[in-house]
Amino acid sequence: MLHIYNTLTRTKEPFRPAQAGQVRMYVCGMTVYDYCHLGHARMLVAFDVVQRWLRASGLSVDYVRNITDIDDKIIRRAVETNRRIGEVTEFYIDAMHADERALGVQAPDREPRATQYVGEMLDIIGRLQDNGLAYQADDGDVNYSVRGFAGYGKLSGKSLDDLRAGERVAVGSAKRDPLDFVLWKSAKPDEPEDTKWESPYGLGRPGWHIECSAMSRALLGLPLDIHGGGPDLKFPHHENEIAQTEGAFGGNLANVWMHCGPLMVDSDKMSKSLGNFRTIRQTVADAAALSDTQAGYQANPREAEMLRFFIVRNHYRSPQNYTPDNLLDAQNALDRLYQALQNVTPDEQGIDWNEPQAQAFKAAMDDDFNSSGAVAALFELATEANRSGSARSAGQLKALAALLGLLQQDPIKYFQTRTRYSASAVRVHGVVVTAAVAKDMPDPASIQLEAADIEDFIAERAAAKQARDYAKADSIRERLRAHGIELDDKPGGVTQWRRA
């Protein structure tokens, strides 16, 4: 039986959906004002694995992941770039979808945008006001009265006294209490007109927290079976969602709360101020189009799967450290799995769940989506396929990996794809790869050979072997190896090549 760690109860619990066989899952998505970064990648991949395993377990899943398309940061970006709000959000939504496709993240069943649910937000605010939990301040903002909700802090474990310690009401603030948060922001005269909605409280726009309360209830009803998101959303966003939804409707917002772990960069939190900020496309793009156009953005499929594998081989709740060394290690490990599929052609019989490694895979995934343990089972199958030449083991390897969104590329094409995360490519540059290396790995494009050049060398080598000039043939092999190209001679005189 599937067990999930519930952030709310701080225990691992058997998962029992409210309606047998049906899962209603809501995950907080992106605020679309910039490119997705590696922390976003971890959240996207983690919950993609969750929904894949729920479906593989025979459950019917309604997976909703929202888009925040109205927010202070979006407004600032629109003003800075002299564009309308809709232009900014559409551009970054397209960018987000391109990053998702690169990482093999399946689209959610529904992807609501906050601006489509303003009416539902205003309804909730009205209910909160009727229940004595919301008030309109002198500055026009409508705020939530945190001390009026007895359960505030139950998700994060923070008490009101702890939160209140050291707090002061800012000079000029109209809040009754510094812990109160905004539900509806009164429009400012200098703000763009397309950021203002009519409401009983005057022109304005919704606060961030109320958006998810409205969208999750409107699309999935209450209570949700699973509510998820990144580690930074536990407080205050998810805490405030609970206060809003339960304060307006009673009952529980969600039965199970899930949060993925943080992604660190060289053991520090990723931030632009520290200069360690990395986007998905900076990490996996052959030609990163980072100007105001999507043209030219092409993800490197080998590097993109490497990043997905880097995320998947860690348990979703554990902290994860991004360094060049760790990416190299992930690339090398993924290469070993693909090498098994290149060495042994997999059969297409599907998964045999009675097989020991399949049972180990399932046991790991049923234990709070322990993808780390599932990946260990994949390596056992790769070892068996290499040892015995078993097409069945290779087939099991490929079929189980598909449940994690891995190992679905053609191995030959995979190994013929250039990668920046290659120890051999780095050595050609004379660089020692350590965590101290700059965040941008050396680009081997200047030294890696094109496919046509490699094929020419292989033909020349074949001619040398035909002429019994084995010294020349060996020299060509070593010359290719110096450029990170490995040759595999197959029966029938066929030579396959791969980038190391």
CA distance 134 to 124: 10
SS3 for 111-174 is CCEHHHHHHHHHHHHHHHHHCCCEEECCCCCEEECHHHCCCCCCCCCCCHHHHHCCCCCCCCCC
CA distance 97 to 89: 12
Comparing CA positions, the residue from 30, 4, 17, 46 lying closest to residue 212 is: 30
Comparing CA positions, the residue from 22, 455, 442, 432 lying closest to residue 223 is: 22
Establish whether 483 is an annotated binding residue.
Answer: no
Establish whether 28 is an annotated binding residue.
Answer: yes
> Tokens standing for 119?
């009416």
CA distance 427 to 425: 5
Cβ atoms within 10 Å, residue 463: 13
φ and ψ at 154, to 5 degrees? -70, -25
Establish whether 260 is an annotated binding residue.
Answer: no
8 Å CB contact between 26 and 216: yes
Establish whether 227 is an annotated binding residue.
Answer: no
Comparing CA positions, the residue from 445, 40, 31 lying closest to residue 270 is: 40
> Tokens standing for 168?
């002061």
Residue 204, SS3 per DSSP: strand
φ and ψ at 269, to 5 degrees? -65, 135
**Binding-site entries for Zn(2+):** 28, 212, 237, 241
**Binding-site entries for ATP:** 272
**Binding-site entries:** 28, 212, 237, 241, 272
